[in-house]
A and B are shown apart, each in its own frame.
Chain A
Amino acid sequence: MSAWLECSISEEIIKNKEIFSDTPSIISDIMAGHLDITNLVENMAGVLTNEEVENREQGMKFFTKILKELPPDYLNETQVKFISRFYIDRLKDNHRIIPSVLEGYLAIIDMKHYSTALNGEFFTVLFREVPCQSQVRQDRYNIYRILNLLNKNPEYLKTLGPDFLYGFISAMDGERDPRNLLFLFSFLPTFLKHITLGHLVEETFEVISCYFPIDFHPSPDDPAPVTRQDLANALCPCLCAVAEFGEQCLVLLIEKLDSSLRIAKLDSLALLKESCKTFSAQTYGPFLKTLWSSMNREISHKTDEELKMLAHESLSALVSKLATTANTDQAFENFVKGVLISMQTAIAESTTVAKFTQAAKVLLTTANASKESCVIITKSMIPAIVAYYEFKPSTKLQIASIDFLGDLYDMAKHWGALDEIQSQAIEIPKLCLIAVSNPSKEYQIAGFKNIIRTKDLLQSDLVLPFIEVLIHNVQHSQDENLLSISVTTVHTIARKYPEMVMDIVVKGKCDLDNLIDDKTALQKRLNLLTNLASIDEFTKVIISEMLKIIRTHDEDAPKVIEALNSSMSDISLYTENKLSEIESDHGLIDSILGWILKELHTGSEESLSHGYKLIATTMSSLPAEKQERILSKYADVLEKCQKDEAYFNILECLYRSLRQSIYNPNFERIMHLSIDVALKSDDKAIRTKACVVIAHLINKVGHGQKFELLYETLTNCLLNYESEEETLLQRLILLYGWLTKALIMRGSDKFLCWLQKIIAALSSPVYCKLAAEAIRLIMFVHPDALNRTFYPIETLLYKQRMYENFTSLTQNFVPASEDVKEAFYVSWAFVLENLSKNIVSREALKILPIVIESLDYDNKEMLLVMTDLLCYYIEYQPLVVAGSLQSAIPRLAKLTRYPKSMYVRVNSLQCFSEIAKSYSTVLLLPYKQDVLAELAPSLDDSKRFVRCYAVAARTRWFLVGAPGEPKEN
């Protein structure tokens, strides 16, 4: 028979501690109905009302444990009421009982049938009988938890009245434990919002504000410390939880903002920002002057970026808050004007760009906060800055002021306030004109950039002077930047005033009708015109005129073609649709091809290649059916190719950018022809083009039968060329490279046999260099083949597959000679260079030995890649390299004097810098003296660029293990 069914349980609890582990059985008895909870209480009477405090404590502990383990919905309303009354009564008992009472009450509150009305009673007794701050940490925490539960019932909270609030604030007054405080702060904001503060506003604020600003350092042996920042972040919303705190809060905030403590300033600014969410705009009224003078001080701080940022944020919050009363209250306008006046003074006094931008940023922050402030700021700042510019401060300041005008304009545009500042804003383009009239490049670039930003403001009367300057630049400027921005500016103006630009530029300055009469700066004019031709209004006039020149085979046709090619390959100017439209309206390809066919044997290599490129670009913009139409129109090119291989150039540019869906029976013939050209032609460029055609055909042909057929044609065809002749073999290796690339890109497994052939060639001393070249072809993106513009089939991660296959195929690679070994590492360099950094990191253990080994070989290109990789490993995976430092450091030291390439020297010096940064002093000290000696010659390197890195590396190594080293080991 279990003891809890009888009165003897009381005795048991007193004597036998182990009975505490029996509570689960008691619970199951209660649940099963063997025992009624009231009976249990009766049975425990002996211990619960025992005269000895110690025994009563045991009794309460035991009963609390049972309450905690009972399912929360088991007890009915009367039972809960009975038990809570009992617990409330116990609050009056000895202090030793209190912890269990609190714990038990927490369990009761969670019960389903608990009535909130009991809370009042509980708190009255609690606040009267239990001095919260005299309890231990955990009990205080429990009290706060009980208080927090009220949050669930905000309506009830309102009925509790001032006595409760008084009890509450007395309970928390003086709390010192960081975790308890964090908990209190977490629920205080909602709590305060739901309770009527009445006459206790001041007291409540006092209790909370005594913590501000938080000054706290967690104990160093705390495993999960509460940080100062956590506490500060939690306290902030409490201080401004309700509007009633307004005045006190601001007084406190201003006082702390003026303190000399940095964290006090930071917290005050954060509080100001947060307070704007709850306080009304009127609250700030009396304090605005003081607030601005304090914020102004922080915002113009010279070195503390964090403080400055926070000051900006709070200024922004304050302005947008005040802006809500812009129409009813003068305070907002006065405040913004105050900011304006201080910053205007700061700008006027600024002697450096840093000071200027600092003041400008404050104004921009203010303008960014609300539409109203934006209007005030821009209205007075635009004329002020224009005047400032004319006051002639230094060049840098003038340029900064032009940029600032652009920022102001953007701001006004963002708030949709352009109409209101119309009369001021039109000054901006005028100022830009003054700036660009200055012959100096800096002024002109700044002015043009700004006019592009503020293009909507440009009035028609300013177009002519701008164009004058622009056209002069376009024709005479030698500077690339200025030239390109001038062209862009003309383009921008042309979009706004097409008719004017048409009259002044196209028909006037560039005189389209007599375009080629004036030979000076013809190319630059042509570039401008082709750029303008991308605008719809100009397309017809310009393109048709240019094509006329091409069709008449004028001597300047190559120049026109070059200009067209460079503009049209710029996707931001000519979209695919635009190009396709031009082709169908003006017959671009026909004209260009006509010209090429005539010039094929006489034209210069370069101008022809512009023509080929232009055709390829235009072809790639066309939809499939149009491409097919053009192919059939020029089907005879194939015939001509067989007689004269020069025609192969045309074939290549027509077929290179075909879409994947196109297939025609000619493909097999083209394949035969291309293989023949690729292996037999004497012209290297033509051979490469043939390889490109083969690769494109194999890559793009649809999956299934078509592919099988074409692939078979290819293999059969290649059977005819089996021979041991050296030149043929060399050409074959490169062709294998292209084939592997085409196949591996489309995700076909057939690439493997070609790759094997390349690897076989890699092991032969005669062909190893070419094999490495073939590997390069596979890994690099070629500008004229199989890149995205030509619609190849490109599966994901094909480079990674190449890496994996290359690794497995070369696993047992035994190089016969040093040459072969070098070619082997060169191939590795090509494979690794294009690999994604993910894989490079994952495979570090495999790759690193190759990298270090390869540093002994003298190949510029390979060394560049390998030193780069080594630097990456040292920086991001120092642990992997740590073991190899001994072999890496001497090799790198030798490379710091590598005569053939300064970039190799730079990379190896960079490795040294990274080594000093990444490893612990203990590991580096043994090398220190040697490294310092090895790096000394680099300080006198013939290239300044190298010396720069040598200085960085050597001065860093001086710090290794020296006092004041900026590293924690």
Chain B
Amino acid sequence: MTKLADNINPHIYEKGTEREITASDLDENVVDEIDEREIFDLIRNINDPEHPLTLEELRVVEESNISVDNKQNTVDVNFTPTIPHCSMATLIGLSIRVQLLRALPSRFKVTVKVAEGTHASEHAVNKQLADKERVAAALENNNLVQIINQCVAIK
């Protein structure tokens, strides 16, 4: 028997609009800094492992939960699992991490965490996501990589 999803009927939220392209975006001489919105755009379209929906539609990631510091070269992402006992939380966190590793310049130090108080085993999940070796080990597991790749692949 196939496993049913943890949250069978999640609440779906509105998709935000695409970032508006301003005149300065098209001006060759203006330098655009990497900002929160840009990080959000990188991860909003990651697919949920259980539903054909994006993390944005499930409001797992939100622009307000992201912070970027271009001077210190740090990026912090907090995400909110749909339900407090979601078994996919680690997987979602890992997908976000992988996507950011691939899509951000290497100067950034990326931290991905479960937003405070939104998950039953918040501490354990955060520990797993922060542990470089565990992440590296997970990425050597072909099955896991396959699922993550399917999540981050652009539809």
Contacts and interface: CB of A to CB of B under 8 A. Distances in A.
Interface stretch (A652-660, A733-741, A934-942): A934-942
B31 interface: yes
Interface stretch (B97-105, B109-117, B126-134): B97-105
B154 A947 contact: no
Contacts of A940: 105, 107
Interface string B8-28: 000011110000010001101
Interface in B14-49: 14-15, 21, 25-26, 28, 31-32, 34, 38, 41-42
Given A963-B149, A965-B149, A955 B28 contact: no
A948 B35 CA distance: 13
Given A303-B53, A942-B31, A952 B154 contact: yes
A352 interface: yes
A900 to B, nearest CB: 8
Contacts of B51: 303
A962 B32 contact: no
B123 to A, nearest CB: 30
Interface in A941-959: 942-945, 947-948, 951-952, 954-956, 958-959
Nearest to B31: A942
B142 A963 contact: yes
Contacts of B13: 352
A63 to B, nearest CB: 60
B106 to A, nearest CB: 7
Contacts of A303: 51-53
Contact of B145 (A943, A945, A948, A962): A962
Contacts of A351: 14
Given A353-B14, A955-B103, A963 B28 contact: no
A360 B145 CA distance: 41
Contacts of B147: 964
Given A959-B153, A964-B150, A954 B145 contact: no
Given A302-B12, A944-B32, A945-B21, A962 B104 contact: no
Given A354-B12, A955-B154, A936 B103 contact: no
A227 interface: no
A223 interface: no
Residue of B28, B52, B104 with most partner-chain A CB within 10 A: B28
Which secondary structure dominates chain A's binding surface?
helix
B104 A955 contact: no
A946 to B, nearest CB: 9
Contacts of A632: none
B28 A396 contact: no
B148 interface: yes
Nearest to A952: B154
A766 to B, nearest CB: 31
A945 B12 CA distance: 29
Contacts of B99: 955
Given A303-B52, A951-B42, A964-B150, A936 B106 contact: yes
A780 B143 CA distance: 54
B146 interface: yes
Interface in A204-256: none
Nearest to B155: A966
A964 B103 contact: no
B83 to A, nearest CB: 17
Contact of B14 (A354, A936, A947, A954): A354
A76 interface: no
Give the 10 A-B CB pairs with smallest separation, nearest first: A964-B149, A940-B105, A964-B146, A963-B146, A944-B32, A352-B14, A951-B103, A942-B31, A964-B150, A939-B105
Interface of B: 12-15, 21, 25-26, 28, 31-32, 34, 38, 41-42, 51-53, 99, 102-107, 142-143, 145-150, 152-154
Given A939-B103, A951-B42, 5 more contacts: A354-B15, A936-B105, A942-B32, A944-B32, A952-B154
27 contacts: A303-B51, A354-B15, A902-B28, A936-B106, A939-B103, A940-B107, A942-B32, A943-B28, A945-B25, A945-B26, A947-B38, A955-B103, A955-B152, A955-B154, A958-B102, A958-B149, A962-B145, A962-B149, A963-B142, A963-B143, A963-B149, A964-B147, A964-B149, A964-B153, A965-B149, A966-B150, A966-B153
